[in-house]
Amino acid sequence: MGTIQFKALTFNYSDQTQPLFDHVTLQFDASWKLGLIGRNGRGKTTLLKLLQHQLPFDGQLVTNLDFQYFPQTVTEPTQLTRDILMQLGNLDNSTFWQVERELRLLQVAPEIVWQPFASLSPGEQTKMLLALLFIDDYHFQLIDEPTNHLDQEGRQVVANYLRQKAGFIVVSHDRHFLNQVIDHVLAINRADITVHQGNYQTWQTAHDQQAAYDQQLKGNIKRLTKTAQQKAQWSHEAEKGKNAASVKTESANLDKGFISHRAAKVMKRATTIANRAEEAIEAKQQLFKNVEIAAPLTINQRPLKPGQNVLSVDELVLQQDGVILNQPLSLTLEAGQQVALTGINGAGKSTLIKALLALPATDHITSSSLHP
Ligand SMILES: Nc1ncnc2c1ncn2[C@@H]1O[C@H](COP(=O)(O)OP(=O)(O)OP(=O)(O)O)[C@@H](O)[C@H]1O
Ligand SMILES: [Mg+2]
């Protein structure tokens, strides 16, 4: 299929003082299944835009491939899904079967293409747009966070689907998903972009080893810094001793040459050691610049009184446009408890959270009916 190569890629948005990418060199094969990983804001989406020449950059992109990007922009979501897919995929009635074939692989009933796009669930919309990518083999796919709106089952279906395809970069923060799908990792680090063979787990293992090594390195730097400070102190004291000797008595002056010579030797040695230590520290600190360190997550919580509940709802029923959305729900959330809210797409998880957020902040809430 060919290769994709960036040579000395340098890019920053106009309001950024530091380049997002600084002389990055990168090469990968167009038949690979790449997982693009990196912390939020590291530049994953930007890199996909650069590949499509949507943003001007310094350096060179060498490839003869055509790229397709997910999620495609749907400008008029009130239109029939089928019409939207035809426009986006440049298809007609005689070629639309290619989309239907992909939809079956994605376990979506092809009939729903007759519904307006806006009426589909976010998970269904995701699958519709994904189905368009692989209707032909000519493009290299840039798939930006396909798992965002998918429930657990949907993610599994898409993972199985992508595993059978090749020639794509997928961005996802879901490591389980990536482990099933990719055969290479493209990692945006603090100072460069690296390519690794294997899945997310392979990369994670290598990364953990690097982190352990860095920990060791930190200890070394600390020790070297202490040594450098000690040597600098010795050097300073030797210099002081030399000056003191030069103003002593005449008899002492007889020894001046000797003391001065000795002091100079000690000082020279101490200075050399201090310089060496500083060089070693500098070299080791350079190594650190490229290592991702996650800042600890802190949550500022209002302390609760003993026995006080975070949340208590009694017989909560949500209504929307007069339609009752759930069975009466009663729950108590105590301080320190961690609760997972699970449910299939469309079950009402976000609606419940929004309703809970809209509740007045009192110590104990009893409500029989809430309107989200
Ligand atoms: N149009 C823009 N104008 C100015 N700055 C931008 C623009 N788009 C993105 N950025 C900045 O560039 C950096 C990289 O953004 P980008 O969206 O590529 O990151 P990302 O890795 O895709 O993040 P995420 O994981 O949150 O999707 C961020 O600091 C972001 O704020
Ligand atoms: Mg992004």
Share of the chain above pLDDT 90, in %: 50
Ligand 1 centroid to residue 139 C-alpha, Å: 25
Comparing 318 with 155, the larger pLDDT belongs to 155
| Residue 54 beta carbon below 6 angstroms from any ligand 1 atom | no
Give the model's pLDDT for residue 366.
41
pLDDT mean over 231-257: 64
Ligand 1, atom 31, residue with closest C-alpha: 41
Distance in angstroms (rounded) separating the CA atoms of residues 26 and 35: 14
Mean pLDDT of the chain: 84
CATH assignment of 3-198?
3.40.50.300
Give the model's pLDDT for residue 165.
95
Please determine, for residue 325, whether its predicted confidence score (pLDDT) is greater than 50.
Answer: yes
pLDDT mean over 148-163: 93
Sign (positive or negative) of CA dihedral 363, 364, 368, 372:
positive
Q: Ligand 1 test: best mutation among 18, 37, 46, most atoms within 8 Å of CB?
A: 46
Distance in angstroms (rounded) separating the CA atoms of residues 134 and 149: 20
pLDDT mean over 239-255: 60
Ligand 1, atom 17, residue with closest C-alpha: 45
Ligand 2 centroid to residue 75 C-alpha, Å: 20
Tens of pLDDT, residue by residue over 124-133, are 999 999 999 9
Ligand 1, atom 3, residue with closest C-alpha: 13
Please determine, for residue 13, whether its predicted confidence score (pLDDT) is greater than 70.
Answer: yes
Out of 188-192, 224-228, 244-248, 301-305, least confident range? 244-248
Give the model's pLDDT for residue 368.
44
pLDDT mean over 277-286: 73
Helices 97-105/81-89 angle, 10° precision:
110
| Residue 13 beta carbon below 6 angstroms from any ligand 1 atom | yes
pLDDT mean over 282-308: 68
| Residue 12 beta carbon below 6 angstroms from any ligand 1 atom | no
